[in-house]
Amino acid sequence: MFQSDQFISKEHLQKWSEKLGFEFKTQSAKKGEVFLKHKQRCHYFYYVSKGFIRLYYLDLDGQEMTHWFSAEKMMITSPFSFFKEETNILNFQALEDTELILISKDQLNLLSDQIDQANKAFQSLFVEFAMRLSRRIMSIHTESAEYRYLKLLEEHPLIFQKAKLAHISSYLGITQQSLSRIRKKLVH
Amino acid sequence: MFQSDQFISKEHLQKWSEKLGFEFKTQSAKKGEVFLKHKQRCHYFYYVSKGFIRLYYLDLDGQEMTHWFSAEKMMITSPFSFFKEETNILNFQALEDTELILISKDQLNLLSDQIDQANKAFQSLFVEFAMRLSRRIMSIHTESAEYRYLKLLEEHPLIFQKAKLAHISSYLGITQQSLSRIRKKLVH
DNA sequence: GGAAAAATTTACCCTATGGTAAAAAAGGAT
DNA sequence: ATCCTTTTTTACCATAGGGTAAATTTTTCC
């Protein structure tokens, strides 16, 4: 679930793969498809070249909890499984027809060993990602659900075009009913 | 606020600094001292060689909200300010007499350019940190305050020796009164 | 364009946690 | 030891958001 809007483009990947003399695998997923399931090992860092992805996990009651959204040009993986030997708990679902570029662990290591620019780009990506998570915790701890909703709407309007309200409410950490109540209140 | 228990030791730092032919600056802080304040630029990645650190920010009402604790052998920084040009919002407070090793941005760049092991170590550190933050969000969204308290107590008992309850309650995202109620309930 | 399915809203009552304020306990300094 | 300060607990009432269930709206698809 790493992601970056600004550091790595499809062209970067293309150039790097040529430099190192290999091709990245690609994969496509239909709207609604869960193309990587929890308990399955996550072998790749995914670059979303087209489409929109939701990452979710199941809580103890079996409820789907959205953990992340990823739009085009962003990168995602399950760090628990890709970087560590832990069991993956994340499900990767395409919210619309999606095209992915797959970077394996070996390829990532080659990239960061051999291409200084790639190394720096991935480092930036990690830092960016950690900053977003930090901010999200701060937001949960100090801002109301209503305010968090408004902020998400303003900062990531795309999510509201692609995702169901149930996806968004679990991302915000509230029930769908609460989100509905908040929306109603704000209209009037 | 990056931290790692397992990847970077004082000996690593020592060895690396010799290899590159420079010395890291050091700094000490007395118990209670806030040695880096919000709005001040954070110029260093700090290695805690001795002591215990709390990172906190002020919410809109001016309440101190604990964002992170850092024990000996861990590393911390304000990514907002160290990696980006954003205003630092974090305060670094020593909860006991503390010794720090300071790594500047230039030094960090040299380390990751010149020493493969250091590059990999820092990358691991970023990944570890992001995983912790992710887990913390999942925990907030699916577990009760009581359960989160018990988990913190079990996984990081040291925090309960070093920090005030007000520090811990704001880290958990609840009021001190609620934490007190939870503790009372659990004793009986 | 109508039936079936899915998504969203509404209603009702409930509970965990918040806010204010005060009391009690613990810790430090002389 | 005692006074003063800080920390922690307790009490009281208020409220945001949860849980269950049903009604309504929107989407899908034949």
**What tens-digit pLDDT sequence spans chain B (188 residues)?**
555 555 688 998 999 999 999 999 999 999 999 999 999 999 999 999 999 999 999 998 889 999 999 999 999 999 999 999 899 999 999 999 999 999 999 999 999 999 999 999 999 999 999 999 999 999 999 999 999 999 999 999 999 999 999 999 999 999 999 999 999 988 76
pLDDT tens per residue, range A39-80? 999 999 999 999 999 999 999 888 999 999 999 999 999 999
Instruction: Give the pLDDT confidence score for residue A188 in this predicted structure.
Output: 61
Kindly provide the residue ranges of all beta strands, DSSP E only, lying in chain A, ordered along the sequence: 25-29, 34-36, 44-58, 64-70, 75-76, 91-104
Distance separating alpha carbons of residues B49 and A56, to the nearest angstrom: 38
Q: Do A83 and B127 touch (CB under 8 A)?
A: yes
pLDDT mean across residues, chain A: 92
- Which H or E element spans position B188? none
pLDDT tier for residue A187 given thresholds of 50, 70 and 90? confident
CA distance B85 to chain A (A): 13
pLDDT tens per residue, range B36-80? 999 999 999 999 999 999 999 999 888 999 999 999 999 999 999
Q: Do A65 and B138 touch (CB under 8 A)?
A: yes
Which residues from chain A sit within 8 angstroms of residue B138, using beta carbons?
A: 57, 65, 67
Instruction: Give the pLDDT confidence score for residue B1 in this predicted structure.
Output: 56
Which residues from chain A sit within 8 angstroms of residue B140, using beta carbons?
A: 137, 140, 173
Which residues from chain B sit within 8 angstroms of residue A80, using beta carbons?
A: 131
Distance separating alpha carbons of residues A63 and B6, to the nearest angstrom: 34
Q: Is any atom of strand C within 7 angstroms of residue B161's beta carbon? A: no
In whole angstroms, C21 C1' to B180 CA is: 16
pLDDT tier for residue A85 given thresholds of 50, 70 and 90? confident
The DSSP bridge pattern shows strands A91-104 and B34-36 to be: unpaired
Nearest CA to B182 out of B144, B154, B138, B156 is that of B144
**Option in A79, A123, A142 nearest B59 (CB):** A142
Specify burial of residue B113 (Cβ count, 10 A radius: 0-12, 13-18, 19+).
middle
Instruction: Give the pLDDT confidence score for residue A6 in this predicted structure.
Output: 57
**Option in A119, A129, A173 nearest B130 (CB):** A129
Query: Which residues are CB-contacts of A154 (< 8 A; sequence separation ≥ 6)?
Result: none
Distance separating alpha carbons of residues B83 and B77, to the nearest angstrom: 9
Q: Do B138 and A113 touch (CB under 8 A)?
A: no
What is the distance of C-alpha A29 from the center of its chain?
15
Instruction: Give the pLDDT confidence score for residue B33 in this predicted structure.
Output: 93
Check pLDDT > 90 for residue A5. Answer: no
Nearest CA to A47 out of A8, A80, A21 is that of A8
pLDDT tens per residue, range A12-43? 899 999 999 999 999 999 999 999 999 999 99
Closest residue, by C-alpha, to the C1' of D20:
A177
Q: Do A130 and B133 touch (CB under 8 A)?
A: yes
Q: What is the mean pLDDT of residues A155-178?
A: 96
Specify burial of residue A6 (Cβ count, 10 A radius: 0-12, 13-18, 19+).
exposed
Q: Are A42 and A79 in contact (CB under 8 A)?
A: no
Strand pairing partners for A55? Answer: A68, A92
Instruction: Give the pLDDT confidence score for residue B85 in this predicted structure.
Output: 86
Report the b/e string of B132-161 with b at 16+ CB within 10 A: bbbebbbebbbeebbebbeebeeeeeebee
Q: Which residue has the tokens 């001795």?
A: B50
Q: Do B130 and A60 touch (CB under 8 A)?
A: no
